[in-house]
C-alpha cells in the first residue's frame, strides 16, 4: 500500500517536472536542507586553500604582487584604447540604426568542489537566487565562456558547461564572421562543430566568439580555438572540433553575467553586420 | 535500543551517505562512486525493518534528487521500489551469508540503475557511456564494507 502511494507520488512528480517548471519552488525549498551538505563537502578543500594562502611566504607574495602590477599596467593601457573604440563602435552602430548592448554586470561566484554526475558536465557554485542569479545566465571566466546557469537554487546554482553533450552555443569565427553552432562533446575540453557546410572557410587556430544569436550569451566573448583537422576536399566527413578558451576544470572563480540591455531588435536583413576586425 | 538514539544514527548515516555521493574525486574514481544512500537504506531496512521502510526511502530519495539535481522523483521511485523488495525478503536475507546478500544487493543496485538510466534517457536522449553501469559493481563490492561498518555503528 505504502509502495503504491510512493510510486504514484514519484511518477506524478516526474511527469510534472518533465512537463513544466512548476516544481521549482519546492526544489528551492528542499535545497535549503540539502545545500548545507554541498558546503560541508566543499569545506575541507576551501579550508586547505585558505590555509595555503595564509602560509605562503612573503617572497612569493611579493613576486606575485609585482607580476600582477605589471599585468594591471598592460591591461590598463589596452583598456585606454578599448574605451575609445567602444565609443566609436556605438557611434557607428547608431549610424546603422543598430542597437548596442550597453554593458554587463558581473557577479563573482566560487565553485564548490563537489561531484554531481560524472557523465554530465555540471558544476555547482556558491551563489544562488539570493544574489539574483537566475536560470540561463551566461557564465564566464577570465579567458572565455564557461557555460550557463542551468538551475538556480537559493544558496547555490548548477552550471552547465559548454562541453556538456546537451549544450549548444551559437558562435561565429572571429576572422570572417562565419556563423555556426558549437555543441558540447561530453569530453572535457572539446567542442564539436557539426553544422558546417563543405565549403566553409574555417582553419585550424581560428578563434570562435559568441555571436549573440539566441539571446542567452552576449556577443563577442571568446569561446574556443578550432583544433587541427586534416585538410581534405570534403570537410563534412572531417570532424571539426574546438578547444574551449575557458579553463573549465581548473578555475575556482567564475563570473555570472547580467546583460543590461533588453532584447536586441533584429536589424533589417539588407544591412550586414560588419565582421569584427582582428 | 533507545528509539530516540537510533533515529539520530539513522539520519546521521544517511546524511553521511549523501555527502559521500557528492564528494569530489578524480574522474576515474568518480565514475565508480556507488550509490551510498541506497546501500545504507538497504542496511537499515534489513536490520530494523519496523523502523526504516518505504517512507524513509521515499523521503531520502527526494532529498537525493534535489542534491544531485536530477528530475524530481526518480531516486524516490527507485529507492522505494528497492526497499519494498528488501522488506518482503528481509527474513530470508538476514539468514544469508554475506556473499549471497551481496548478490541480492547487486540485483537491487542493477534495478535502481536501470530505472535511473531510463529516466536519464527520458530527460535527455544523450548517449550514456558504458561507465554508467560501473557504480553497480563497485556498490556490490562495497556492500561488505558498508555492512560491517553499519553493524558496528548499530551495536555501538
CB of A185 closer than 8 Å to CB of A163? yes
Cβ A6–B66 below 8 Å, yes or no?
A: no
**Interchain CB contact of B15 with A (< 8 Å):** yes
In which residue are the cell numbers 586534416 written?
A230
Partners of residue A40 in chain B, C-beta under 8 Å: 19
Cβ B23–A118 below 8 Å, yes or no?
A: no
- Residue A181 to residue A168: CA distance in whole angstroms: 6
Q: What does pTM read for this prediction?
A: 0.79
Is 60 exceeded by the pLDDT of residue A164?
yes
Tell me what percent of the residues of chain A surpass a pLDDT of 70.
Answer: 87
* Enclosing H/E stretch for B146: helix B134-155
**Interchain CB contact of B77 with A (< 8 Å):** yes
Q: What is the pLDDT of residue A60?
A: 87
Partners of residue A34 in chain B, C-beta under 8 Å: 18, 63, 66-67
Q: What is the pLDDT of residue B5?
A: 67
Which pLDDT tens digit goes with each residue over A21-62?
778 888 888 888 888 888 888 888 888 888 887 887 788 889
Q: What is the pLDDT of residue B4?
A: 66
Is 90 exceeded by the pLDDT of residue A4?
no
The mean pLDDT of A242-269, rounded to a whole number, is 69
Is 90 exceeded by the pLDDT of residue A121?
no
**Domains of chain B, CATH where assigned:** 3-155 (1.10.1760)
Nearest Cβ partner of B27 from A11, A118, A150? A118
Sign of the alpha-carbon torsion through A184, A187, A191, A197: negative
Q: Which ipTM value was assigned to this complex?
A: 0.80
Q: What is the pLDDT of residue B111?
A: 93
Partners of residue B76 in chain A, C-beta under 8 Å: 6, 9-10, 13
Which residues of chain A approach chain B closer than 8 Å at the C-beta? 2-3, 6-7, 9-14, 16-18, 23, 26-27, 30-31, 33-34, 37-38, 40-41, 45, 113-119, 122, 150-151, 158, 165-166, 186
Q: What is the pLDDT of residue B125?
A: 66
- Lowest model confidence (mean pLDDT) among A62-71, A208-217, A235-244: A235-244
Cβ A26–B72 below 8 Å, yes or no?
A: yes
Minimum distance, in Å, between the CA of residue B22 and any CA atom of chain A:
5
Cβ A118–B131 below 8 Å, yes or no?
A: yes
pLDDT in single tens digits along all 156 residues of chain B:
556 668 888 899 999 999 998 888 887 888 888 899 999 999 999 988 888 889 899 999 999 988 888 888 889 999 999 999 999 988 888 888 888 889 999 999 999 999 888 888 877 766 677 778 888 999 999 999 999 998 888 887
Q: What is the pLDDT of residue A212?
A: 82
- Chain A residue with CA closest to B22: the answer is A115
Amino acid at each position: 500500500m505504502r509502495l503504491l502511494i510512493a510510486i504514484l507520488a514519484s511518477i506524478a512528480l516526474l511527469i510534472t517536472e518533465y512537463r513544466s517548471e512548476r516544481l521549482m519552488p519546492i526544489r528551492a525549498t528542499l535545497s535549503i536542507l540539502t545545500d548545507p551538505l554541498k558546503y560541508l563537502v566543499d569545506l575541507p578543500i576551501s579550508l586547505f586553500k585558505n590555509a595555503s594562502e595564509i602560509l605562503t611566504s612573503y617572497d612569493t607574495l611579493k613576486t606575485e604582487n609585482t607580476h600582477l602590477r605589471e599585468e594591471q599596467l598592460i591591461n590598463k593601457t589596452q583598456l585606454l584604447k578599448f574605451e575609445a573604440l567602444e565609443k566609436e563602435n556605438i557611434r557607428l552602430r547608431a549610424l546603422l540604426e543598430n542597437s548596442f548592448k550597453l554593458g554587463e554586470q558581473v557577479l563573482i561566484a566560487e565553485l564548490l568542489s563537489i561531484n554531481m554526475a560524472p557523465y554530465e558536465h555540471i558544476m555547482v557554485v556558491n551563489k544562488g537566487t539570493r544574489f539574483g542569479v537566475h536560470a540561463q545566465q551566461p557564465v564566464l571566466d577570465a579567458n572565455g565562456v564557461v557555460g550557463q546557469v542551468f538551475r538556480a537554487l537559493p544558496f547555490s546554482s548548477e552550471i552547465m558547461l559548454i562541453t556538456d553533450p546537451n549544450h549548444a552555443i551559437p558562435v561565429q569565427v572571429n576572422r570572417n564572421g562565419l556563423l555556426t553552432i558549437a555543441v558540447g562533446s561530453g569530453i572535457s575540453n572539446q567542442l564539436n562543430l557539426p553544422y558546417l557546410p563543405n565549403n566553409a572557410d574555417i582553419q585550424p587556430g581560428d578563434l570562435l566568439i559568441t555571436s549573440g544569436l539566441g539571446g542567452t550569451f552576449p556577443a563577442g566573448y571568446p569561446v574556443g580555438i578550432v583544433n587541427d583537422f586534416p585538410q581534405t576536399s570534403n570537410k563534412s566527413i572531417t570532424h571539426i572540433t574546438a578547444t574551449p578558451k575557458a579553463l573549465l576544470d581548473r578555475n575556482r572563480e567564475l563570473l555570472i553575467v547580467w546583460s543590461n540591455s533588453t532584447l536586441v531588435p533584429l536589424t533589417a536583413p539588407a544591412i550586414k553586420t560588419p565582421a569584427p576586425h582582428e | 535500543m533507545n528509539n530516540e538514539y537510533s533515529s539520530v544514527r539513522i539520519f546521521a548515516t544517511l546524511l553521511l551517505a549523501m555527502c559521500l555521493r557528492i564528494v569530489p574525486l578524480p574522474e576515474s574514481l568518480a565514475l565508480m562512486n556507488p550509490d551510498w544512500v541506497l546501500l545504507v537504506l538497504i542496511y537499515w531496512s534489513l536490520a530494523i525493518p519496523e523502523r526504516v521502510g518505504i517512507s524513509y526511502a521515499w523521503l531520502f530519495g527526494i532529498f537525493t534528487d534535489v542534491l544531485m539535481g536530477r528530475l524530481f522523483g526518480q531516486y524516490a521511485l527507485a529507492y522505494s521500489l528497492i526497499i519494498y523488495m528488501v522488506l518482503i525478503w528481509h527474513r530470508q536475507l538476514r539468514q544469508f551469508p554475506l556473499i549471497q546478500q551481496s548478490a541480492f544487493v547487486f540485483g537491487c543496485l542493477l534495478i535502481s540503475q536501470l530505472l535511473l538510466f531510463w529516466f536519464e534517457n527520458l530527460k535527455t536522449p544523450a548517449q550514456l557511456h558504458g561507465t554508467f553501469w560501473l557504480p553497480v559493481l563497485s556498490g556490490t563490492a562495497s556492500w561488505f564494507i558498508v555492512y560491517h561498518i553499519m553493524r558496528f555503528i548499530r551495536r555501538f
